[in-house]
Chain A
Amino acid sequence: MVPTHYYLILGAALFTIGVIGVLTRRNIMIILMSIELMMNAVNINLMAFSDRLQQVTGQVFAIFVITVAAAEAAVGLGIVIAMFKNKETMNINEIDLMKW
Chain B
Amino acid sequence: MIEALFFLFAAMAVGAAINVLVQKHVLYSALSLIVLLVSMSGLFILLNADFLAVINVIVYAGAIMVLFVFVIMLLNLPEDEDGADRMRWLKFLGIPMGLFLLFMILATLWNAGADAGVQAQMPGSPEAIGRSLFTDYLLPFEVTSLLILIALMGAVVFAKKEL
Contacts and interface: CB of A to CB of B under 8 A. Distances in A.
Interface in A33-76: 33-34, 36-37, 40, 43-44, 47-48, 50-54, 56-57, 59-60, 62-64, 66-75
Contacts of B64: 36, 69-70, 73
Contacts, number: 228
A5 to B, nearest CB: 6
B74 A81 contact: yes
Interface of B is mostly: helix
Given A17-B18, A67-B147, A9 B158 contact: no
A27 B26 contact: yes
Nearest to B148: A71
B36 A37 contact: yes
Interface in A1-45: 1-10, 12-21, 23-27, 29-30, 32-34, 36-37, 40, 43-44
Contact of B52 (A18, A19, A62): A62
B95 A82 contact: no
